[in-house]
Structure 1
C-alpha cells in the first residue's frame, strides 16, 4: 500500500511548493461540497494580494474514508497538508497524535468570537483549540402535519417524547424514519438518545484507553428500549437496518411516512424535488419541524451535533500563511454565505439573524437553538473504536434488548484494552 501511494504523495509534495518565484501554494483538503469551499478559497486568494495561492483537494465522501486518507498522509509527516477540514468526531484523535498545529490562546479567542459554544467544544483537546468550527449541524424532528393532527399530537410541544411519537405512528399505521445502517449515522442516533436521557456513552474521556464505558445505565437502558421497540414494531421502515439519511428521507416523503429524524438539508431537498416535479408540492406543504424529541418529558433533549472543523497541518511549511487563510475563509460573512449556498448551518450565532438566512430558513431559530444545546459524541482520540463498538453491538436494531448496553460496555472495554478487534 505504501509503495502504491508513493508517486501520489511525491506529486502532492512537489505541487505544494508553488511555481518557481511565485507565491506559495497552500493545499486545503476539504469535505466534498457543491463548490462553496472553493468559492471561499478563491475570495481569500484574491484578497491576499498575492501572498498565497490555494489548491483544493476533495476528500472522499464518507467520514471513514476521509479519516483513513488523512491519517495515512499525516502519519507520514506530509508537508503538503496546510489545511484540512475534519469531521468533528476526529479532531481529538488528530490533535492527540500531533497531526495538527494548535491555535494559540489569542487566536482561539479571536477566531471563535461570536461562535456558539457547542461547536467550539468539538475542536478542543487538552484545553487547546485544534479544530476551528467551519460548519455545524444538528438534527431536527420532521413530521407530516396532517398526520400529527389526525393522531392528536403536537410535535412542537416542549415535552414531546419518543414514546408519544411512537404511539402516534403506530396508531396511524405510519413509519418513523431514522438512520440505523451500521455506520456513523446510527451512532448519532444512539448517542443522542443516551445524552437526552441524562447519560453518556463514555466517562472520563481524558483517560484515553482507560476511559470508562457507561452504556449500562438507566439512560442506556432507555435508549435500548426505544431503539428495540421501534425496530420490532409496525412503525419500522422495511429498510431500517440499511437506512442512511437519504433512505430515511425517501421513507418520510412516501405515503407511509409520518416522522423523521434528519439534518436540516432535507427541507431544501424536498423543495427542490417539488420544483423538479419528482415530489408533490402537497407533500412539501405538509412538512413540519420541531426540536429533537425528548426521552423523558421533564428533561430537555440533547440534539445531535455534527459539522466540520478546520485544522492546520502540523507539518505544513507555511503555517503562518495557513493561519491567514483560516482567518479569511472562516469569517462570519463567508460562513453565512456558505449556509445559503450549501445548506450547511453556520457555527456563528449571528448568522441566524441575517435577513437572507431567515428568508431561506423558516426554522433558523430552531437550528441555532438545537446546535447551541446539542450534545457531541464522545470527544476522545479513540472515537473510531468507541463508535465501532457501539454500532456493532447495537446492529441490527431489531436485536437490541435490555442486555445490549451491558454487552456494549464489555465489548467497548475489550476493544479499548486491545483484547478484541472490531
Structure 2
C-alpha cells in the first residue's frame, strides 16, 4: 500500500533506531507506512547482542520489490529483515531468498490457514509457500467501500444490504457524486482488477504452482464482467477527472469537497485514521462531515455474488543470507508482537494480523466496533492476488493491457490480455 497522505514528512536523519551499544547491526527495510511505530520497535527490540536499524524502502510496491530483489539476488548479507508486500513472498521464497519460519511460530502460522491458529486465515495464507511459512504477518490490509451517508440516502441505497459496482456508480452519477478507485498504471490497479474478476467467480490465473505453466483464465465471463465494471465507471459522469492516474491518496480528496455530495470510494484501512487526524484542518473534513463518513463491504461485481475484497498488508521476512539469521528471526518475532500490531492500528491505522490484537483494538474504543469487524471479515473472506513465483510478470502484463481504464473493452481486453500474459509467461514477449 502506498504511504498515507496528510501525515508529517519524515526527516532523513530520523530513520535509524535509537539502538543500544552492540557492534552487530540488523538492517530492517521498511515501507513508508507506520515508520514512527517501526522506529519505536526497532529501539525496543534491540538487545545487548544487536541493534536494529530502520532503512526506508521506496514508496511504490514495484520499486520496493526491485530494491529488495536486487539485494537478495546478489546474496546481500546486510539484508536482515524486510517488510514484504504479500505478493513478494512466493517469488522470494521460491528463489531461496527467505529464511523459513520454523518451530512453534511456523506451526501456528500454517495452522491458521485452516482456522486453527490465532492469525487471521487470510493473513496467514499470504506467507505460506509449498506448505512452509516464509514470513510473519505483521498487519493485514483490506479494502472496503467508504462513502458519505448523506449521498447514499439521497440515492436511495440501502447500505445494510450488499451493493454492486453498478449500483454505486449509478448512485454517484445520479446525485452529483463520484466514485474513487485506484486506476493508475501500478500495482493497485491490478488489485482492483483481481477483486473484480474474483468477485465474478473467476481468476486471472490458476494452477500457479506450475510456475510459468500456470493456466491463464482472465479471458472468461468473469474477466468480461470485470471489464464491464471498469468501462461503466470510465464512461460515467461519476468517474473522477484523474481516473487513469488515480491512486490511494488522490482519491481521498473527493470525499469532503467544498461543494458537492462527496464520493463512494474503495480504499484501504488507513482511511479512517487519516480523515480523523485532519478534522477541522486545512483540506480536512469538519466534524460534521466526518460524522457523515460510513463504510460497507466491498461492492459486488455481479448482483447476487459475494464480493471478494482485496487482501494486502505487510509480512516480515528474514533474509536467507543474513550474517545473523538467529538474531534476525528473534527480532522478527519481537517486531511482530501483539502489542506492536496494536500500536500500528491505533497510531497508523494499519490493522492487525492476529485475532488477539484485533480484540484489543476493538476494546480500545479508538474505532467503531462494526468497522473493526468489517476489516476482520473482509480479510478472512477476501481474495488474495495470484500466489505465484512469477507474480511480477503477471501484474506487469495485466497493467500493460488493461491500462488506461478508458481503453478497457469487455469484448477485447480480457482476450488480448490473456494472449499477452501467456506470451510473457512462456518467454515469447517481454514486459
Aligned pair partner of 1:129 in 129, 133, 142:
133
The structure with the greater share of residues assigned to helix is 1
1:390 matched to 2:398? The reply is yes
Structure 1, unmatched stretches of 5+, are 1-17
Which whole-Å CA distance do the structure 2 matches of 1:343 and 1:357 have between them?
Answer: 15
2:267 aligns with 262
| CA deviation map 1:306-349 (0-9, x unaligned) | 11111111111111111111121111122111211221111011
Q: Per the alignment, do residues 297 and 68 of structure 1 end up closer, same or farther by CA in structure 2, a change over 3 Å counting?
A: same
TM-score, length of structure 2 as denominator length: 0.89
Offset from partner CA, 1:241-270 (integer Å, 9 cap, x none): 110011111123222632111112122222
- What is the match of residue 191 of structure 1? 194
2:238 aligned residue = 235
* Equivalent residue number for residue 5 of structure 1: none
* Residue 377 of structure 1, CA deviation: 0.5
Q: Quote the offset at 1:124 in angstroms.
A: 1.3
Aligned to 1:94: 92
User: What is the CA–CA distance in structure 1 between the aligned matches of 2:101 and 2:213, rounded to whole Å?
Assistant: 27
Question: Contact 1:177 / 1:257 at 8 angstroms: preserved in 2?
Answer: no
Match of 1:115 in 2: 119
Q: Does 1:145 align with 2:153?
A: no
1:25 is matched with 25
**Counterpart position of 1:37:** 38
CA contact (8 A) 2:275 2:285 kept: no
CA RMSD of aligned residues (A): 1.9
Give, in whole Å, the separation in 1 of the partners of 2:334 and 2:86: 21
Checking the alignment, whether the CA contact within 8 Å between 1:336 and 1:357 is kept in structure 2 is no
Residue number in structure 2 paired with 1:104: 102
Unaligned runs of 5+ in 2: 1-18
Offset, 1:365: 0.9
Q: What does the per-residue CA deviation read over 1:344-393, in whole Å, with 9 as the maximum and x for residues that have no partner? A: 11101122222666511211111111111111101111111111111111
Report the CA distance between 1:399 and its aligned residue. Answer: 1.1
Q: CA deviation at 1:170?
A: 2.1
CA contact (8 A) 1:340 1:357 kept: no
Q: Given the alignment, which residue of 282, 297, 301 partners 2:303?
A: 297
Q: 1:160 and 1:251 mapped to 2: Cα distance? A: 21
> Once the 2 structures are TM-superposed, how far is the Cα of residue 24 of structure 1 from its aligned partner?
2.3
TM-score by length of 1: 0.91
Residue of structure 1 in register with 2:415 after alignment: 406
Whether the 8 Å contact between 1:357 and 1:364 is mirrored in structure 2 is no
Matched, 1:325 2:326: no
Residue 63, structure 1, aligned to residue 68, structure 2: no
Q: Is the contact between residue 272 and residue 349 of structure 2 (CA under 8 Å) also seen in structure 1?
A: no
Tell me, yes or no, if structure 1 residue 347 matches structure 2 residue 350: no
Output the CA distance in 2 between the equivalents of 1:280 and 1:330: 33
Count matched residues.
401
- Structure 1 runs of 4+ with >6 Å offset: none
